Protein backbone atom coordinates (compact mmCIF):
# COMPACT_ATOMS: atom_id res chain seq x y z
CA UNK A 1 0.00 0.00 0.00
CA UNK A 2 1.18 3.51 -0.85
CA UNK A 3 -0.43 6.88 -0.13
CA UNK A 4 -0.14 9.71 -2.66
CA UNK A 5 0.09 13.19 -1.14
CA UNK A 6 -0.65 16.24 -3.27
CA UNK A 7 1.49 19.29 -2.56
CA UNK A 8 2.81 22.44 -4.15
CA UNK A 9 6.30 22.31 -5.66
CA UNK A 10 8.03 24.86 -3.39
CA UNK A 11 10.68 23.59 -1.01
CA UNK A 12 8.61 24.66 1.99
CA UNK A 13 5.47 22.89 0.72
CA UNK A 14 7.49 19.72 0.16
CA UNK A 15 9.06 19.93 3.63
CA UNK A 16 5.55 20.24 5.07
CA UNK A 17 4.41 17.20 3.09
CA UNK A 18 7.50 15.32 4.30
CA UNK A 19 6.47 16.07 7.89
CA UNK A 20 3.09 14.41 7.35
CA UNK A 21 4.68 11.52 5.44
CA UNK A 22 7.00 10.90 8.42
CA UNK A 23 4.02 10.91 10.80
CA UNK A 24 2.18 8.36 8.65
CA UNK A 25 5.29 6.17 8.39
CA UNK A 26 5.85 6.28 12.16
CA UNK A 27 2.19 5.70 13.06
CA UNK A 28 1.25 3.09 10.43
CA UNK A 29 4.51 2.03 8.70
CA UNK A 30 2.99 3.05 5.36
CA UNK A 31 5.09 4.68 2.64
CA UNK A 32 3.88 7.84 0.95
CA UNK A 33 4.79 9.52 -2.32
CA UNK A 34 4.50 13.21 -3.17
CA UNK A 35 2.46 14.33 -6.17
CA UNK A 36 3.90 17.74 -7.09
CA UNK A 37 1.36 20.20 -8.43
CA UNK A 38 1.91 23.73 -9.71
CA UNK A 39 -0.97 25.95 -8.66
CA UNK A 40 -2.15 29.20 -10.22
CA UNK A 41 -0.87 31.04 -7.15
CA UNK A 42 2.61 29.65 -7.85
CA UNK A 43 2.55 30.61 -11.53
CA UNK A 44 1.54 34.27 -11.19
CA UNK A 45 4.18 36.01 -9.08
CA UNK A 46 4.15 39.55 -10.44
CA UNK A 47 0.80 40.49 -8.89
CA UNK A 48 -0.36 40.51 -5.25
CA UNK A 49 -2.81 37.73 -4.33
CA UNK A 50 -5.73 40.08 -3.69
CA UNK A 51 -5.57 41.13 -7.37
CA UNK A 52 -5.81 37.59 -8.82
CA UNK A 53 -8.38 35.88 -6.66
CA UNK A 54 -6.98 35.28 -3.20
CA UNK A 55 -5.45 32.41 -1.25
CA UNK A 56 -7.67 29.70 -2.75
CA UNK A 57 -5.36 29.85 -5.77
CA UNK A 58 -2.91 27.66 -3.84
CA UNK A 59 -5.34 24.77 -3.31
CA UNK A 60 -7.73 24.41 -6.27
CA UNK A 61 -5.44 22.42 -8.59
CA UNK A 62 -4.53 20.09 -5.73
CA UNK A 63 -8.22 19.52 -5.01
CA UNK A 64 -8.72 18.63 -8.69
CA UNK A 65 -5.94 16.02 -8.37
CA UNK A 66 -7.80 14.43 -5.44
CA UNK A 67 -11.07 14.35 -7.37
CA UNK A 68 -9.23 12.72 -10.30
CA UNK A 69 -7.74 10.09 -7.98
CA UNK A 70 -4.15 11.22 -8.57
CA UNK A 71 -3.73 12.13 -4.88
CA UNK A 72 -5.26 10.55 -1.78
CA UNK A 73 -4.83 13.70 0.28
CA UNK A 74 -3.32 17.16 0.25
CA UNK A 75 -1.07 18.90 2.77
CA UNK A 76 -1.66 22.65 2.98
CA UNK A 77 -0.54 25.58 5.04
CA UNK A 78 -3.89 26.21 6.72
CA UNK A 79 -3.47 29.96 6.25
CA UNK A 80 -3.76 29.32 2.47
CA UNK A 81 -7.07 27.46 2.81
CA UNK A 82 -10.24 29.56 2.33
CA UNK A 83 -12.92 29.09 5.00
CA UNK A 84 -15.46 27.99 2.39
CA UNK A 85 -13.81 24.83 1.06
CA UNK A 86 -15.90 22.89 -1.52
CA UNK A 87 -18.47 20.60 0.09
CA UNK A 88 -16.93 17.41 -1.32
CA UNK A 89 -13.75 17.97 0.75
CA UNK A 90 -12.87 17.91 4.43
CA UNK A 91 -9.90 19.07 6.51
CA UNK A 92 -9.51 15.76 8.28
CA UNK A 93 -6.54 16.54 10.54
CA UNK A 94 -4.55 19.49 11.84
CA UNK A 95 -1.37 18.23 13.55
CA UNK A 96 0.63 20.07 16.23
CA UNK A 97 1.07 23.73 15.32
CA UNK A 98 4.41 25.47 14.70
CA UNK A 99 5.37 28.99 15.85
CA UNK A 100 2.55 31.41 14.91
CA UNK A 101 4.63 34.61 14.90
CA UNK A 102 5.83 36.79 12.06
CA UNK A 103 9.57 37.32 11.77
CA UNK A 104 11.78 40.09 10.38
CA UNK A 105 14.77 39.15 8.24
CA UNK A 106 17.51 41.68 7.40
CA UNK A 107 20.85 40.81 5.79
CA UNK A 108 22.77 43.30 7.92
CA UNK A 109 21.07 41.97 11.07
CA UNK A 110 19.68 45.38 12.05
CA UNK A 111 16.62 44.95 14.27
CA UNK A 112 13.35 46.16 12.78
CA UNK A 113 13.11 48.68 15.61
CA UNK A 114 16.54 50.15 14.80
CA UNK A 115 15.94 50.64 11.08
CA UNK A 116 16.59 54.13 9.67
CA UNK A 117 13.66 56.40 8.87
CA UNK A 118 12.11 55.58 5.48
CA UNK A 119 13.44 51.99 5.46
CA UNK A 120 12.09 49.74 2.68
CA UNK A 121 10.30 46.63 3.96
CA UNK A 122 9.22 43.79 1.65
CA UNK A 123 5.88 42.03 2.11
CA UNK A 124 2.95 41.20 -0.16
CA UNK A 125 0.61 40.77 2.82
CA UNK A 126 -1.92 43.55 3.44
CA UNK A 127 -2.15 42.32 7.05
CA UNK A 128 1.60 42.62 7.62
CA UNK A 129 1.95 45.89 5.71
CA UNK A 130 -0.91 47.54 7.61
CA UNK A 131 0.40 46.51 11.03
CA UNK A 132 3.98 47.51 10.15
CA UNK A 133 2.75 51.00 9.27
CA UNK A 134 1.05 51.21 12.69
CA UNK A 135 4.33 50.35 14.44
CA UNK A 136 6.53 52.40 12.07
CA UNK A 137 4.52 54.90 9.96
CA UNK A 138 7.75 56.13 8.37
CA UNK A 139 8.71 52.91 6.55
CA UNK A 140 7.97 52.13 2.91
CA UNK A 141 6.17 48.85 2.11
CA UNK A 142 7.41 47.14 -1.08
CA UNK A 143 5.21 44.30 -2.47
CA UNK A 144 7.14 41.03 -3.00
CA UNK A 145 5.91 37.51 -3.80
CA UNK A 146 7.47 34.11 -4.41
CA UNK A 147 8.74 31.28 -2.25
CA UNK A 148 10.85 31.90 0.86
CA UNK A 149 14.19 31.72 -0.97
CA UNK A 150 12.95 34.06 -3.73
CA UNK A 151 11.80 36.64 -1.20
CA UNK A 152 15.09 36.49 0.69
CA UNK A 153 16.98 37.07 -2.58
CA UNK A 154 14.82 40.14 -3.22
CA UNK A 155 16.30 41.90 -0.17
CA UNK A 156 19.44 42.50 -2.21
CA UNK A 157 17.84 42.63 -5.67
CA UNK A 158 15.27 45.26 -4.72
CA UNK A 159 17.47 47.14 -2.26
CA UNK A 160 15.26 46.34 0.73
CA UNK A 161 16.19 46.85 4.37
CA UNK A 162 14.40 43.62 5.24
CA UNK A 163 11.37 41.41 4.70
CA UNK A 164 8.67 39.85 6.87
CA UNK A 165 8.04 36.11 6.75
CA UNK A 166 6.20 33.56 8.88
CA UNK A 167 8.50 32.17 11.56
CA UNK A 168 6.95 28.72 11.03
CA UNK A 169 8.17 28.44 7.44
CA UNK A 170 11.70 29.51 8.32
CA UNK A 171 11.82 27.01 11.20
CA UNK A 172 10.54 24.18 9.00
CA UNK A 173 13.27 25.01 6.48
CA UNK A 174 15.91 25.06 9.26
CA UNK A 175 16.50 28.75 8.52
CA UNK A 176 15.67 30.07 11.98
CA UNK A 177 19.23 31.44 12.18
CA UNK A 178 18.47 34.20 9.63
CA UNK A 179 15.65 35.69 11.74
CA UNK A 180 16.68 39.13 12.99
CA UNK A 181 13.74 39.52 15.37
CA UNK A 182 10.25 38.22 16.04
CA UNK A 183 7.09 40.30 16.33
CA UNK A 184 4.97 39.44 19.34
CA UNK A 185 1.38 38.49 18.55
CA UNK A 186 -0.05 41.64 20.12
CA UNK A 187 1.86 44.06 17.87
CA UNK A 188 1.60 41.88 14.74
CA UNK A 189 -1.53 39.72 14.92
CA UNK A 190 -0.77 36.56 12.88
CA UNK A 191 -2.63 35.41 9.79
CA UNK A 192 -5.60 33.12 10.38
CA UNK A 193 -4.18 29.64 11.13
CA UNK A 194 -0.54 30.75 10.68
CA UNK A 195 1.87 27.95 11.62
CA UNK A 196 -0.75 25.20 11.20
CA UNK A 197 -0.79 22.43 8.59
CA UNK A 198 -4.00 20.84 7.37
CA UNK A 199 -4.60 17.50 5.71
CA UNK A 200 -7.44 17.71 3.19
CA UNK A 201 -9.23 14.70 1.72
CA UNK A 202 -12.28 13.90 -0.34
CA UNK A 203 -15.14 13.01 2.02
CA UNK A 204 -15.70 9.25 2.42
CA UNK A 205 -12.15 8.43 1.31
CA UNK A 206 -11.35 4.96 2.71
CA UNK A 207 -8.29 6.26 4.59
CA UNK A 208 -10.04 9.14 6.37
CA UNK A 209 -10.46 7.47 9.77
CA UNK A 210 -6.79 6.50 9.81
CA UNK A 211 -5.55 9.99 8.90
CA UNK A 212 -7.86 11.62 11.46
CA UNK A 213 -5.68 10.08 14.19
CA UNK A 214 -2.90 12.54 13.24
CA UNK A 215 -5.07 15.32 14.66
CA UNK A 216 -3.93 17.59 17.52
CA UNK A 217 -7.18 18.60 19.23
CA UNK A 218 -5.77 21.79 20.77
CA UNK A 219 -4.41 22.98 17.42
CA UNK A 220 -7.70 22.12 15.72
CA UNK A 221 -9.96 24.12 18.01
CA UNK A 222 -7.65 27.16 17.95
CA UNK A 223 -7.47 27.11 14.15
CA UNK A 224 -11.23 26.56 13.85
CA UNK A 225 -11.88 29.47 16.22
CA UNK A 226 -9.71 31.72 14.05
CA UNK A 227 -11.43 30.47 10.88
CA UNK A 228 -14.86 31.15 12.40
CA UNK A 229 -13.69 34.73 13.01
CA UNK A 230 -12.66 34.95 9.34
CA UNK A 231 -15.90 33.36 8.09
CA UNK A 232 -18.07 35.71 10.16
CA UNK A 233 -16.25 38.71 8.71
CA UNK A 234 -16.21 37.18 5.20
CA UNK A 235 -12.48 37.89 5.36
CA UNK A 236 -9.76 37.02 2.88
CA UNK A 237 -6.46 38.43 1.60
CA UNK A 238 -8.22 41.46 0.08
CA UNK A 239 -7.96 43.34 3.38
CA UNK A 240 -6.27 43.44 6.77
CA UNK A 241 -7.46 40.48 8.83
CA UNK A 242 -5.67 38.36 11.43
CA UNK A 243 -6.47 36.31 14.50
CA UNK A 244 -4.71 34.18 17.08
CA UNK A 245 -6.36 31.82 19.55
CA UNK A 246 -4.50 30.02 22.34
CA UNK A 247 -5.43 27.87 25.32
CA UNK A 248 -4.78 28.29 29.01
CA UNK A 249 -6.28 25.28 30.75
CA UNK A 250 -9.98 25.17 29.89
CA UNK A 251 -9.96 28.78 28.71
CA UNK A 252 -9.39 30.03 25.19
CA UNK A 253 -7.98 33.51 24.65
CA UNK A 254 -8.34 35.12 21.27
CA UNK A 255 -7.01 38.25 19.60
CA UNK A 256 -8.32 39.58 16.29
CA UNK A 257 -7.67 42.47 13.90
CA UNK A 258 -9.79 43.68 10.99
CA UNK A 259 -10.18 46.68 8.71
CA UNK A 260 -13.66 48.06 9.42
CA UNK A 261 -14.45 50.69 6.77
CA UNK A 262 -10.86 51.94 6.72
CA UNK A 263 -10.39 51.80 10.49
CA UNK A 264 -8.09 49.09 11.89
CA UNK A 265 -9.84 47.51 14.88
CA UNK A 266 -8.10 45.11 17.28
CA UNK A 267 -10.08 43.27 19.97
CA UNK A 268 -9.63 40.39 22.44
CA UNK A 269 -11.98 37.84 23.94
CA UNK A 270 -11.73 34.93 26.40
CA UNK A 271 -14.07 32.09 27.22
CA UNK A 272 -14.67 28.35 27.57
CA UNK A 273 -12.57 26.47 25.01
CA UNK A 274 -15.54 24.21 24.25
CA UNK A 275 -17.27 27.28 22.80
CA UNK A 276 -14.42 27.85 20.33
CA UNK A 277 -16.58 28.44 17.24
CA UNK A 278 -18.81 30.88 19.11
CA UNK A 279 -15.76 32.71 20.48
CA UNK A 280 -14.58 33.41 16.95
CA UNK A 281 -18.06 34.65 15.99
CA UNK A 282 -18.35 36.81 19.10
CA UNK A 283 -14.90 38.34 18.55
CA UNK A 284 -15.87 39.20 14.96
CA UNK A 285 -19.09 40.84 16.15
CA UNK A 286 -17.18 42.82 18.79
CA UNK A 287 -14.82 44.07 16.07
CA UNK A 288 -17.75 45.16 13.87
CA UNK A 289 -19.22 47.21 16.74
CA UNK A 290 -16.49 49.76 15.97
CA UNK A 291 -18.14 50.79 12.67
DSSP 222-273: HHHHHHHHHHHTT--TTS-EEEEEEEETTEEEEEEEEEETTEEEEEEEEEEG
Q: If DSSP codes are grouped into helix, strand and coil, which group holds residue 66?
A: helix
Active-site residue, 80 included: yes
* Euclidean distance between CA atoms 194 and 215, whole angstroms: 17
Q: If DSSP codes are grouped into helix, strand and coil, which group holds residue 192?
A: coil
Catalytic residue among 80, 99, 102, 161: 80
Question: Quick one: 108 exposed, middle or buried, by C-beta within 10 A (0-12, 13-18, 19+)?
Answer: exposed
Which helix (H) or strand (E) is 154 found in, with range?
A: helix 148-157
Which residues are designated catalytic? 80
Amino acid sequence: MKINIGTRRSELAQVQANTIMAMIKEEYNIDCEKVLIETKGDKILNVTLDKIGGKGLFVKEIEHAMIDGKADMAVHSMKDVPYDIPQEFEIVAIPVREDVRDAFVAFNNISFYDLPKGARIGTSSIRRGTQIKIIRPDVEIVPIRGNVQTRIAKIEKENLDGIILAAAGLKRLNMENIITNYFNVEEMVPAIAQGALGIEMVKNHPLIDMIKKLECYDARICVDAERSFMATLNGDCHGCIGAYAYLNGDDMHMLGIFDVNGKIVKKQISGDKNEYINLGIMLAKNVLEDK
